[in-house]
Amino acid sequence: MLYRENGQFKSTYVSDQQMLPILQDRVLMALLLAFAFGVVPFVISDYVFLSLLIPFLILTLAAIGLNLLVGYCGQISIGHAAFMAVGAYAAYNLALRIPQLNFIVVLVLAGLIAAMVGMLFGIPSLRIKGLYLAVATLAAQFFMDWLFARVKWFTNYSSSGSVSTAPIELLGWKVDTPAEKYVFLLGVLVVFTLIAKNLVRGHIGREWMAMRDMDVAAEVIGIRPVYAKLTAFAVSSFYVGVAGALWGFVHLGSWEPLAFNLNVSLNLLFMIIIGGMGSLLGSYFGAAFIVALPILLNQVPAWIGVPVSTAMASHLEFMIFGALIVFFLIVEPHGLARLWAIGKEKLRLWPFPH
Partner 1 sequence: MKLNMQSKLLAAALAASAAAVTLGSPAAQAQAKEQFFPVLSYRTGAYAPNGIPFANGYVDYLKLVNARDGGINGIKIAFEECETGYATDRGVECYERLKGKGPTGATAFHPLSTGITFALTDKSFVDKIPIITTGYGRADSVDGTVFGWNFPLGGTYWDAADMLVQYVGNKEGGLDKLKGKKIALVYHDSPYGKEPIALLQERAKMHGYELLLLPVTHPGVEQKATWLQIRQQRPDYVFLWGWGVMNSTSIKEAVATGYPREKMYGVWWSGAEPDVVPAGEGAKGYNALVFFAPAGMGQVHKDMVKYVYDKGQGSGKKEEIGEVLYNRGLGAAMLTVEAVKRAQIKYGKKPLTGEQVRWGFENLAIDDAAIKKLGFTGYMTPVSTTCVNHAGEAQARIQTWDGKKWVVQPGVIHADNSIIKPMIRSSAEKYAAEKKLPKRDCAKEAG
Partner 2 sequence: MKKHWPVVTLGTALLIGLALPLATGASPPGFYVEVLLGGLMAGVLYSLVALGFALIFKASGVFNFAQGAMVLFSALAVARLAERMPLWLAILCAMAIMVVLAWLIERLVLRPLVNQEPVALLMATLGVTYFLDGFGQTVWGSDIYEIELGIAKEPVMILERVFRGGILVNKEDYVAAIVATALVVSLALFFQKTSTGRALRAVADDHQAAQSIGIPLHRIWVIVWSVAGVVALVAGVIWGSKLGVQFSLAQVALKALPVVILGGFTSVTGAIVGGLIIGVGEKMAEVFLGPVLVKAFDLAGGGIENWFAYVLALLFLLVRPEGLFGEKYIDRV
Residues near partner 1 (CB under 8 A) are 45, 47-48, 50-52, 149, 159-162, 164, 166, 252-256, 258-259, 285, 288-289, 292-293, 295-296, 299-300, 302-303, 309-311, 313-315, 327-328, 330-332, 336, 339, 342-343
Q: Out of 138, 190, 258, 295, which residue is the one contacting partner 2 (CB under 8 A)?
A: 138
**Looking at beta carbons only, is 216 or 330 nearer to partner 1?**
330
The string of DSSP letters for 76-101 reads --S-THHHHHHHHHHHHHHHHH-TTS
Cα angle at 282 between 279 and 288, to 5 degrees?
A: 155
- Contacted entry of partner 1, partner 2, none for residue 182, CB cut-off 5 to 8 Å set by kind: none
Residue 96 vs 319, nearer CB to partner 2: 319
The reply on whether position 226 binds partner 2 by CB under 8 A is no
* Subset of 234-263 contacting partner 2 (CB under 8 A): 262
Q: Is 263 strand, coil or helix?
A: helix
- Residues 141-180 binding partner 2 (CB under 8 A) are 142-143, 145-146, 149-152, 161
Distance CA 123, CA 133 (A): 10
CA distance 100 to 96: 9
Q: Which residues contact 297 (CB under 8 A, 6 or more apart)?
A: 313, 316, 317, 320
By CB under 8 A, name the one of 168, 273, 290, 336 that touches partner 2: 273
Q: Three-state SS for 197?
A: helix
Compute the residue count for the chain.
Answer: 354
Q: Which is nearer to partner 2, 42 or 153 (CB)?
A: 153
Computed from CA positions of residues 14, 20, 24, 26, in that sequence, does the dihedral angle turn out positive or negative? Answer: negative
Judged by CB under 8 A, the stretch of 11-19, 99-107, 224-232, 319-327 that binds partner 2 is 319-327
Instruction: Round to whole Å and give the CA distance between 247 and 255.
Output: 10
Burial 156-167 (b: 16+ CB within 10 A, else e): eeeeeeebebee
DSSP state of 44: S
Contact characters 4-43, partner 2, x per CB under 8 A: ----------------------------------------
**For partner 2, how many residues bind (rule: CB under 8 A)?**
51
Listed in order, strand segments (DSSP E) in 191-312 are 254-255
Measured from the CB atom, is 21 or 253 closer to partner 1?
A: 253
Instruction: Supply the minimum distance, in Å, between the C-beta of residue 94 and partner 1.
Output: 16
DSSP 125: G
Residue 131 binds partner 2 (CB under 8 A): yes
Residue ranges that bind partner 2, judged by CB under 8 A = 70, 76, 124, 127-128, 130-132, 134-136, 138-139, 142-143, 145-146, 149-152, 161, 214-217, 220, 262, 266, 269-270, 273, 277, 311-312, 314-326, 329-330, 333
